[in-house]
């Protein structure tokens, strides 16, 4: 019992410390670091959306950036072309992205495993093609510019990066808690059941298609939220946002951090975005380096950084936890039940 | 019939022929190995650019086609032997490895040949245009040749898969992999062979396609997307399905490019959605 209390105390202390640092960032660090944190947060939401599906459902999606972009494009259009007042563009963006996820979801829940990956790749590419070709709406390759962040409670988040940081932080924490709550809930347990043995779940009377569909839409909502902040912060959106490299980058960030934890998604995104900044100063071969890194991570480090650390963490720092039955990790480390006949 | 409709019809046929050549390799390796080779589009583009350089040096278009095919076949062999075999049995990991190879090959092509759009010049013997009898339309010889080439490849693949011992082994492996390996056939070598053949077909289609489409960075993903659509519509591992899927994709893409250019690619969402709603494994796909 004392061990358990000690564990709780240490966890509360750690949370307070991390929380304190996150809130203090705008005052204790440079403007540049604040901007980097903002970038990590909106791209982190995209990565989280992907790792949620990969970890809980075992479905690797290559179209989450599409929903990130659909909400982004909606915000951009309503804001810069039609001049709607603040709360309307982001709300409309989320609604339209969820509708799109509802439409594409009808198709993608019908397939599993590599078929899912293949189909989401194709659908993501079709959305990208639409962004490039439908130039009367999306302005083609140049994209939409002149998007200004809103004024919230009398404070302009366009002028003050600190205000933007806190404005986004609230929603970022909301999105993270939302996904964490889903993972903890019976719904999350059912998803993992579907991941591990869909036929058994179906036999037990669960509506597996509906579960997969709901998970896809929920995940896409989080990606769409990231897209809203992305568009407001960068002030522009173009087809690059919904391109395959964007999707692959999110996947790489997810695997790099570890797909079984939400924290991993954020850590992976932070590493990749830092690498992006460092490399863009030295070389133009960002894609090449990303490809090589992707290959190395897939071949040698599928558990990801946070996955590896967590193992150490649970064994050394909180010995009481290691007695708990080990949660079966999802996604990549899992060997398929039947190797040859999917 | 108006000229535009007629031309779209013919263009759709030729695009379908090209897509068949590309997709046949992909569906062959997929049905046997259960790996969606996402490198296929990158191999198409690499093959096209290699063909471009070989044509510049040697002046022979035929040699360019062979060189494009052989080099990508070698690349495919290396990929299968040293990377995919590492993760054999976990199809998701194998597919993701092929995605990483695709990104690397795509960027290397950009480094070597640059980002400007290029086209391989049409060989002397196939240049010019002829009037097609019956419908009385003038159409480029090269494009008619593409359809002929696709027909030859369909015939060759059919003979190979139905009549030769190796082909029969491959078909048996597609249907029941365990039984084939239990019968003492060297499955590793079989996988390597099929994957290499698939790479060869991708390279050849790159040179053939690069002669009437543009070769440019980004074309790898466009071709991969179209090829995957062909396979989703037609069904995996079926030669007939691939032919039908390639025709449907080619025709729809060609007509939409002519009539609704703003949605020329996005329109392909419709056949994909319709086929997936009726038959999730594609028109000719087998339920497993």
Q: Does B129 touch chain A (CB under 8 A)?
A: no
Task: Note whether B96 contacts A292, CB cutoff 8 Å.
Answer: no
The complex scores an ipTM of 0.88
Ramachandran region, residue B11 (left: φ > 0; alpha: ψ -120 to 50; beta: rest): alpha
Per-residue pLDDT band for A152 (boundaries 50, 70, 90) equals confident
Q: Residue A205 — φ and ψ, nearest 5°?
A: 95, 10
Residue identified by tokens 């896809």 is: A216
pLDDT tens digits along B214-233: 888 888 898 999 999 998 89
A340 pLDDT more than 50: no
Interface of B with A in 243-272 (CB under 8 A): 261-266, 268-269, 272
Q: pLDDT above 90 covers what percent of chain B?
A: 37
Per-residue pLDDT band for A341 (boundaries 50, 70, 90) equals very low
Residue identified by tokens 């032997």 is: B81
Shortest CB distance from A339 goes to which of B89, B108, B280? B89
Chain A residue whose CA is closest to B89: A339
| Token pair of A211 as six digits | 């579960």
Angle between helices B40-58 and B3-33 (to 10 degrees): 110
| Token pair of A99 as six digits | 């509708």
Q: Does B112 touch chain A (CB under 8 A)?
A: no
Question: What does the CA dihedral A266, A272, A277, A282 come to, rounded to 10 degrees?
Answer: 170
| Token pair of A306 as six digits | 């946070």
A335 pLDDT more than 60: no
Question: Which pLDDT value is given to residue A229?
Answer: 92
pLDDT tens digits along A63-101: 999 999 999 999 999 888 887 887 888 899 999 999 999
Interface of B with A in 69-98 (CB under 8 A): 83, 86-87, 89-93, 95-97
Task: Note whether B107 contacts A332, CB cutoff 8 Å.
Answer: no
Question: Which pLDDT value is given to residue A3?
Answer: 67
Q: pLDDT above 90 covers what percent of chain A?
A: 27
Question: Which pLDDT value is given to residue A324?
Answer: 46
Query: Is A74:A229 a contact under the CB 8 Å cutoff?
Result: no
Query: Is A104:B272 a contact under the CB 8 Å cutoff?
Result: no
Question: Which pLDDT value is given to residue B128?
Answer: 77
Task: Please name the residue ranges forming H helices in A197-316.
Answer: 198-203, 208-234, 244-257, 262-282, 286-300, 304-312
Q: List chain B domain ranges.
A: 15-218
Question: Which pLDDT value is given to residue A286?
Answer: 84
Question: Which pLDDT value is given to residue A320?
Answer: 53
Residue B256: its chain A contacts at CB < 8 A? Answer: none
Q: List chain A domain ranges.
A: 30-241
User: Cα(A224)–Cα(A329) distance, rounded to whole angstroms?
Assistant: 27
Residue identified by tokens 């001049």 is: A83
Task: Note whether B288 contacts A125, CB cutoff 8 Å.
Answer: no
Question: Which pLDDT value is given to residue A338?
Answer: 40
The mean per-residue pLDDT over the stretch A189-207 comes to 87
Question: Which pLDDT value is given to residue A325?
Answer: 46
pLDDT tens digits along A3-27: 677 778 888 888 888 888 888 787 8
Per-residue pLDDT band for A317 (boundaries 50, 70, 90) equals low
Taking residue B155's Cβ as centre, other Cβ atoms within 10 Å add up to 10
A132 pLDDT more than 80: yes
Question: Which pLDDT value is given to residue A342?
Answer: 36
Question: Which pLDDT value is given to residue A322?
Answer: 46
Size of interface A-B (CB pairs under 8 A): 130
Angle between helices B239-259 and B269-278 (to 10 degrees): 140
Question: Which pLDDT value is given to residue A328?
Answer: 52
Question: Which pLDDT value is given to residue B191?
Answer: 86
Among B225, B236, B285, most A C-beta atoms within 10 A, so best to mutate, is: B225
Question: Which pLDDT value is given to residue B201?
Answer: 93
Average model confidence (pLDDT) across chain A: 84
| pTM as predicted | 0.88
DSSP state of A339: S
Query: Is B26:B198 a contact under the CB 8 Å cutoff?
Result: yes
| Token pair of A193 as six digits | 């059941």
Per-residue pLDDT band for B85 (boundaries 50, 70, 90) equals confident
pLDDT tens digits along A216-230: 999 999 999 999 999
pLDDT tens digits along A44-69: 999 999 999 998 888 899 999 999 99
Q: Does B2 touch chain A (CB under 8 A)?
A: no
pLDDT tens digits along B147-206: 999 999 999 988 988 888 888 888 888 777 778 888 888 888 888 898 999 999 999 999
Which of B248, B233, B242, B178 minimizes the C-alpha distance to B205? Answer: B242
A160 pLDDT more than 60: yes
Per-residue pLDDT band for B47 (boundaries 50, 70, 90) equals very high
More confident residue, A258 or B63: B63
Which of A248, A217, A22 minimizes the C-alpha distance to A117? Answer: A248
User: Cα(B213)–Cα(B22) distance, rounded to whole angstroms?
Assistant: 14
Which of A271, A224, A287, A254 minimizes the C-alpha distance to B102? Answer: A287
Question: Which pLDDT value is given to residue B288?
Answer: 52
User: Cα(B219)–Cα(B216) distance, rounded to whole angstroms?
Assistant: 6
Q: How many helices (H) and strands (E) in chain B? A: 11, 2
């Amino acid at each position: 019992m004392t061990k358990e209390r000690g564990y709780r105390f240490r966890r509360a202390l750690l949370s307070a410390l991390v929380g304190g640092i996150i809130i203090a960032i705008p005052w204790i660090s440079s403007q540049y670091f604040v901007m980097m944190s903002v970038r990590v947060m909106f791209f982190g939401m995209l990565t989280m959306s992907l790792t949620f599906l990969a970890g809980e459902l075992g479905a690797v999606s290559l179209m989450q950036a599409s929903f990130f972009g659909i909400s982004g494009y909606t915000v951009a259009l309503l804001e810069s072309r039609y001049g709607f007042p603040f709360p309307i563009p982001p709300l409309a963006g989320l609604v339209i992205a969820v509708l799109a996820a509802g439409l594409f979801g009808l198709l993608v829940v019908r397939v599993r495993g590599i078929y899912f990956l293949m189909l989401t790749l194709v659908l993501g590419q079709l959305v990208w093609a639409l962004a490039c070709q439908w130039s009367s709406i999306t302005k083609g390759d140049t994209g939409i510019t002149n998007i200004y962040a809103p004024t919230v409670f009398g404070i302009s988040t366009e002028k003050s990066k600190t205000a933007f940081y806190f404005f986004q932080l609230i929603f970022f924490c909301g999105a993270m808690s939302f996904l964490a709550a889903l993972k903890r809930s019976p719904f999350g347990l059912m998803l993992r059941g579907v991941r591990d043995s869909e036929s058994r779940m179906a036999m037990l009377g669960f509506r597996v298609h509906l579960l997969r569909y709901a998970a896809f839409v929920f995940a896409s909502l989080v990606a769409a939220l990231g897209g809203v902040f992305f568009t407001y912060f960068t002030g522009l959106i173009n087809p690059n946002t919904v391109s395959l490299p964007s999707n692959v980058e999110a996947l790489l960030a997810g695997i790099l951090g570890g797909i079984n934890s939400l924290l991993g998604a954020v850590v992976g995104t932070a590493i990749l975005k830092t690498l992006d900044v460092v490399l863009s100063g030295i070389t133009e071969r960002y894609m090449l380096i990303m490809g090589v890194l992707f290959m190395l991570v897939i071949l040698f480090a599928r558990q990801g950084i946070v996955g590896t650390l967590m193992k150490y963490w649970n064994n050394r720092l909180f010995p009481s936890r290691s007695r708990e039955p080990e949660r079966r990790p999802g996604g990549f480390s899992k060997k398929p039940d039947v190797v040859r006949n999917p | 019939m108006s000229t535009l409709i007629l031309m779209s019809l013919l263009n759709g046929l030729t695009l379908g022929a090209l897509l068949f050549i590309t997709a046949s390799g992909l569906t062959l390796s997929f049905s046997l190995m259960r790996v969606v080779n996402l490198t296929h589009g990158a191999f198409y583009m690499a093959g096209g650019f290699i063909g471009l350089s070989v044509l510049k040096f040697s002046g022979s278009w035929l040699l360019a086609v062979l060189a494009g095919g052989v080099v990508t076949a070698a690349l495919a062999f290396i990929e299968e032997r040293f990377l995919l075999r590492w993760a054999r049995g976990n199809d998701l990991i194998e597919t993701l490895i092929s995605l990483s190879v695709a990104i690397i090959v795509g960027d290397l092509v950009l480094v070597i040949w640059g980002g400007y759009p290029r086209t391989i010049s049409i060989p002397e013997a196939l240049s010019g245009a002829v009037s097609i009898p019956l419908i009385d339309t003038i159409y480029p010889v090269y494009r008619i040749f593409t359809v002929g080439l696709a027909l030859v490849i369909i015939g060759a693949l059919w003979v190979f898969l139905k009549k030769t011992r190796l082909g029969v082994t491959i078909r048996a492996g597609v249907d029941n992999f365990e039984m084939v390996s239990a019968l003492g056939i060297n499955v590793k070598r079989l996988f390597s062979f099929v994957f290499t053949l698939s790479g060869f077909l991708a390279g050849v289609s790159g040179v053939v396609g690069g002669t009437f489409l543009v070769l440019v960075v980004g074309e790898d993903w466009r071709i991969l997307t179209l090829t995957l659509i062909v396979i989703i519509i037609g069904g995996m591992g079926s030669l007939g399905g691939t032919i039908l899927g390639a025709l449907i994709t080619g025709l729809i893409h060609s007509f939409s490019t002519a009539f609704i250019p703003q949605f020329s690619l996005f329109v392909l969402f419709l056949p994909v959605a319709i086929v997936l709603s009726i038959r999730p494994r594609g028109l000719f796909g087998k339920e497993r």
